[in-house]
Amino acid sequence: MKKTFSIGGVHPDDRKISAGCAIEVLPTPKTVYISMAQHLGGPAKAVVAAGDKVKTGQVIGEPTGFISAFVHSPVTGTVKSVGLRKDLAGIPVVHVEIETEPDEWMEGIDTSDTLVTEIPSDPKFILDRIKANGVVGLGGATFPTAVKLCPPPDKKADILILNGAECEPYLTSDYRIMIEKSSQIVIGAALMKKVLGVGRVVIGIEDNKPEAITSMKAAVAGLAAGSPDYSGIEVVTLKKKYPQGGEKQLIDAITGRQVKSMGLPIDVGAVVQNVATSLAVYDAVQKNKPLIDNTITVTGECFPKQSNLLVRVGTPLSSIVDWLGGVPESAAKAISGGPMMGKAIANLDAATLKGTSSILFLTEEQTRRKPETNCIRCGKCAEACPMGLEPFLLNKLARNGMMEELEQNAVQDCIECGCCLYSCPAYIPLLDTIRMAKGEVIKIIRSRSAQKK
Amino acid sequence: MNKLIVSPSPHIHSKTSTRSLMLDVVIALLPSVLVTVLFYGWSALAVLASCVISCVLLEYLITRYLMKRPSTIGDLSALVTGIILALNLPPTTPWWVAVIGSIVAIGVAKMTFGGLGQNVFNPAITGRVFLLISFPVAMTTWGGAKGFIGGADAVTGATPLGIVKEGLLQGQTLDQIFAANDFSYLQMLFVNIGGSAGEISAIAVILGFIYMLARRVIRPYITLSILVTVAVFSGIFWLIDPSQYTDPLFNLLTGGVLLGSVFMATDYVTSPMSDKGGIIFGVGIGIITMLIRYFGSYPEGMSFAILIMNSTVPLINRFCKQKKFGRA
C-alpha cells in the first residue's frame, strides 16, 4: 500500500494544467527590485548604495542575526536606489533597485552546464557554501537552509526527507525540476546528507506525478552506481492527498513518526527539505552559484499561456505576466503560491522573491466564497483536519474569545492548510477565525514560557 | 480587470454546500418515495404533498415573518424533513394530521431552537412521535390504501411487528404466528405491504444508503452499528428462545430499523461528530430499539430509540474526540 499521512486530508482537483510546459528562461528585465526580507528571520542589511556597480552574484545584503541569510545581486548593473518599496501584500520593505546590463558573473561562479557529481569530503565546506550563497528553504517558509542543517548538539537527525509532494493544485515548478534537473536534485540531497551525517535520504513524490518518479529513480540509480556517497537515497511514492507536503504530514507519511505539538522535525530525528531547495544547494555548493533565480509556475484556466519559467529574483510580477500576454480580463484574484495556502497578491508591481513558486490566476467564479450559513454539525471539518483538531469547536471558541479553551483544544497545532474551510458545506470562514485565535494563543504561550525563564 | 481581490487562503472550495448535501439526501430518498407511491397510490401522494408543502411553507413563514431573517428553505433541509416525515406515516393518514406533524417537526423541534444545525432532536422523528402519541388510531391503521400496482393486496391490517406483538400477547408462539400470516423474507426485502410508507421496501432504503455512501454524504458507522447491534441483540435472544423472540433477519427487515438507521439516525445535526461517537450512538439506538420491541408496550421502538440517543449527543461529543496529531 502506498504511504500517506494518517489523519484527515482532502482531495482537491489537481488542475496541473502547466505540467507539460518545459522550463523556459525569462529574459532578464530592465530593472530588478531585490527585497532584503526574502527569508524567515531578520531581514538582510543592504551593503550597496545608489550609484554602485554590481556584478551578477555579488553580495548586496548581509545577514542580521543567527536566523537570516545573504542576498545577492541577480543581475549585472547599476544600483539606482535603496529604499522602501511595496511587497506582494502591499507592505513597504527595503528593496535594492538595479538597472540591468548584460551579465558579468562574479569570479569563482561556474556557469557551465557540466554536472559535478563529486561530493566534497568536508561537511563544513558544504555548509559554508550553502550559507554564503544565500540558500533558503523554497518549500514556502524560506527558512535559512544552513541553520536547518545545523541541529542543536543534543539532537541528532537520522533521516533526510526531500519534499517532492507538491500537493497544492496547479503548481508544477517542483514537478518540472524533478524531470529536467533530477540529477542535480539528487546531488543536492547527497550534499545535505553529508552535512547532517545521516544514512538515509527519502525523496517523497505523490503518485499523480509518475514521470517525476521515474526520472528521479533513474537519477538516483545512475548516481548510486558511480559513488558510495549516493548510497541510502531512495524515492518513495506517496498516495495523493493534500496537505502531504506539510512538514509534519510528510514525516508521518514516510517514517510513521509524529512530531509533537509545538515540536520540530528534528525532535523525531528528521530534517525536511524541498526538492527546489536541494537544487539550490547543488548550485551553491557544486557551482558556487548563489540563489539568484528560481522556477516559477504561471498558470490558471483564465490565463492565456501556461508556463514554467526560470526567473531572476527581483523580477516584477507584472513584467512576467506582461511577457506572457498580460492579466486576463476574467481574472479576479492573483495568488503567490497554491490555491490552498498561497497568499493573494495585492500588488502586481511587487518583485519575485527567492521563495516565490507561482503566480496563479483565478476567476471570480473559482474563488468566490458563498455567504456563511448555519453550522449543520456534519463534522466534515474535523474529518478533513490533518492535525486531528475540531475546527467547528475552535471557531466557536474563537468567536467567544475563550483563550484557555482554545489552548486546551490545541488551536496552536493548526498548520493553516485550509482543509477545514475548503470542506465546510456552510461556508463558515473557519480558518480565518482560527488563524487569528492561534496567533493570540501562541503569544500567550510564549509570554508564559518567557516568564518561567 | 481593474482590482484584484485580496482575501486569506484557502482560495478554492470543495463546492460541497449544505444545499448540495441535502439534494443528495433527497435523491437517496427517491427509491423509497417511488415504491411508496406505486404501492400505496394517491393516498401516499397526498400524505407526501401535505408534509412537504407544510414543512417548507412553515419554515419560510417562520424565518421571514417571525425571525425576520432571509429564508432558509433554499438549503433544502425542510424538504428533506417533509419527505422523511411522510415516509414515517401510514399512507392513510388524514392530511390535517400530516400538517400537525409538520408543524411539530419544523415549528417546534427545529425552528424554536434556531433553525438548521441548532436542534437537539431530529425534527421528522419528533413530529412522528408526537402524532403516534396524539393520534394512536390514525398512526397504527394501515388499511384502505389502493396502490397503482399490486391491486387489492394493498389492503392489510397491521405491520408484521404489530401482528407479532399481538400474537405473543395472546399466548401464540412465533411459529404459529408466522404460519398464520404467511410472512416471507423475500417479500420484506422488496415490497412488504403493511407499514409506514417508507418502511415497505428494504431494497429501496438500501439503494439510498449506497448512494449516500458513494457521494460521501454520510459515513457508514452509525447505520452499520445500529444494524449490527439489532442483529446481535436479537440473535442472542432468538437463540435462547426462538418461540418467543423474533430472529435477527426479521428484526432488520421489518419496521423502521432500516429507514431510521439510514436516513434519520445519520442526520448530521442530531448525531455525534466523530466516528467513534457514531458507533456508541448506533449501539445505543440498536439496544433501545430491541428492548422496546421485545419488552415494551409498543411493537416498534426505532423512533423512541433515536430520540433518546439524540439527547446524549452533546455528551458523546464531549468524550469522543478524534486523536490529535502528535499528542498521546
CATH, residue A243: 3.40.50.11540
Nearest chain B CA: its distance from A431 CA (Å): 8
- Based on the structure, what is the number of domains in chain A? 2
φ/ψ (deg, to 5) at B301:
-130, 5
* Residues A282 and A158 reside in one and the same domain: yes
Determine contact: A431 vs chain B, CB below 8 A: yes
Determine contact: A317 vs chain B, CB below 8 A: no
**A373 interaction partners in chain B (CB closer than 8 Å):** 18, 72, 75, 116
For helices B95-102 and B77-87, what crossing angle results, to 10°? 130
pLDDT at A453: 72
pTM for the complete prediction?
0.91
Q: What is the pLDDT of residues B252-265, one digit of tens each?
A: 988 889 999 999 99
Contact call for B14 and A422, based on CB within 8 A: yes
Q: For an interface test with B, give the residue of A376, A394, A419 to mutate (most B CBs within 10 A).
A: A376
pLDDT at B3: 78
pLDDT at B299: 84
CA distances from B121 to A393, B58, B226 (A): 20, 18, 18
Determine contact: A348 vs chain B, CB below 8 A: yes
Please report whether residue A6 resides in a domain. Answer: no
pLDDT at B119: 94
Task: Return the number of other C-beta atoms located less than 10 Å from residue A10's C-beta.
Answer: 22
Residues of chain B whose beta carbon is less than 8 angstroms from a beta carbon of chain A are 1, 4-14, 16-18, 20-21, 72, 75, 77, 114-118, 219, 268-269, 273-274, 321-327
Residue matched to cell numbers 483536519: A385
Determine contact: A252 vs chain B, CB below 8 A: yes
* Residues A134 and A242 reside in one and the same domain: yes
Closest CA relative to residue A356, chosen from A34, A112, A56: A34
Please report whether residue A436 resides in a domain. Answer: yes
Q: For an interface test with B, give the residue of A378, A397, A411 to mutate (most B CBs within 10 A).
A: A378
The beta-carbon neighbor of A248 closest among B13, B269, B326 is: B326
* Residues A280 and A141 reside in one and the same domain: yes
Three-state DSSP at A326 gives coil
Q: Three cell numbers at A260?
A: 509533537
Q: What is the pLDDT of residues B157-211, one digit of tens each?
A: 567 788 888 888 888 888 888 887 777 777 776 666 666 767 778 889 999 999 9
Q: Three cell numbers at A29?
A: 528585465
Interface of A with B in 25-84 (CB under 8 A): none
- Confidence label for B269 from pLDDT (cuts 50, 70 and 90): very high
pLDDT at B43: 87
Instruction: Give the whole-angstrom CA distance, residue A437 versus residue A420.
Output: 15
Please report whether residue A245 resides in a domain. Answer: yes
pLDDT at B154: 44
Contact call for B268 and A348, based on CB within 8 A: no
Last residue of a domain, one of A286, A315, A335: A286
Are the C-beta atoms of residues B74 and B56 closer than 8 Å to each other? no
**A258 interaction partners in chain B (CB closer than 8 Å):** 325-326
Q: What is the mean pLDDT of each run of 10 residues along chain A (453 residues)?
A: 91 94 96 94 94 96 94 97 93 96 95 94 96 93 93 93 96 97 97 96 96 97 94 96 96 96 94 97 97 96 94 96 91 95 94 95 92 93 95 96 95 96 96 96 93 80
Specify which residues A94 forms β-bridges with. A84
Determine contact: A425 vs chain B, CB below 8 A: yes
Please report whether residue A2 resides in a domain. Answer: no
pLDDT at B173: 84
Instruction: Give the whole-angstrom CA distance, residue A234 versus residue A228.
Output: 14
Amino acid at residue number A107? E
Specify which residues A234 forms β-bridges with. A202
**Mean of the pLDDT values across residues B288-315?**
93
* Residues A271 and A397 reside in one and the same domain: no
Contact call for A388 and B11, based on CB within 8 A: no
Closest CA relative to residue A217, chosen from A255, A167, A176, A182: A182
- Confidence label for B40 from pLDDT (cuts 50, 70 and 90): confident
* Residues A151 and A280 reside in one and the same domain: yes
Contact call for A367 and B11, based on CB within 8 A: yes
Instruction: Give the whole-angstrom CA distance, residue A168 versus residue A16.
Output: 9
Contact call for A377 and B273, based on CB within 8 A: yes
Last residue of a domain, one of A286, A314, A339: A286
Please report whether residue A151 resides in a domain. Answer: yes
Contact call for B273 and A432, based on CB within 8 A: no
**Mean of the pLDDT values across residues B214-223?**
95
* Residues A268 and A390 reside in one and the same domain: no
Contact call for B12 and A340, based on CB within 8 A: yes
Instruction: Give the whole-angstrom CA distance, residue B251 versus residue B244.
Output: 13
Q: Three cell numbers at B246?
A: 423474533
* Residues A276 and A140 reside in one and the same domain: yes
Determine contact: A416 vs chain B, CB below 8 A: yes
Residue of chain A whose alpha carbon sits nearest to that of B20? A425
* Residues A386 and A276 reside in one and the same domain: no
- Checking if the pLDDT of B155 tops 50, the result is no
In a 13 Å sphere around the CA of A179, the CA atoms on its Cβ side amount to 15
* Residues A268 and A135 reside in one and the same domain: yes
Please report whether residue A220 resides in a domain. Answer: yes
Are the C-beta atoms of residues A11 and A216 closer than 8 Å to each other? no
Are the C-beta atoms of residues A135 and A145 closer than 8 Å to each other? yes
The residue range of the domain holding A393 is: 380-452
Sheet holding A45-46, edge to edge: A45-46, A59-62, A71-72
* Residues A267 and A388 reside in one and the same domain: no
- The answer to which of A335-344, B2-11, B221-230 has the lowest mean pLDDT is B2-11
Please report whether residue A273 resides in a domain. Answer: yes
pLDDT at B192: 65
- All residues at 6 or more sequence positions from B183 whose CB lies less than 8 Å from its CB, including other chains: B160, B250
* Residues A159 and A278 reside in one and the same domain: yes
Average pLDDT, chain B: 89
Radius of gyration of chain B (CA): 21
Kind plus residue range of the DSSP H or E element containing A234: strand A233-238
* Residues A396 and A281 reside in one and the same domain: no
pLDDT at B328: 67
Contact call for B11 and A423, based on CB within 8 A: no
The beta-carbon neighbor of B5 closest among A332, A376, A377 is: A332
Size of interface A-B (CB pairs under 8 A): 152
pLDDT at B1: 44
Please report whether residue A49 resides in a domain. Answer: no
Last residue of a domain, one of A286, A305, A327: A286
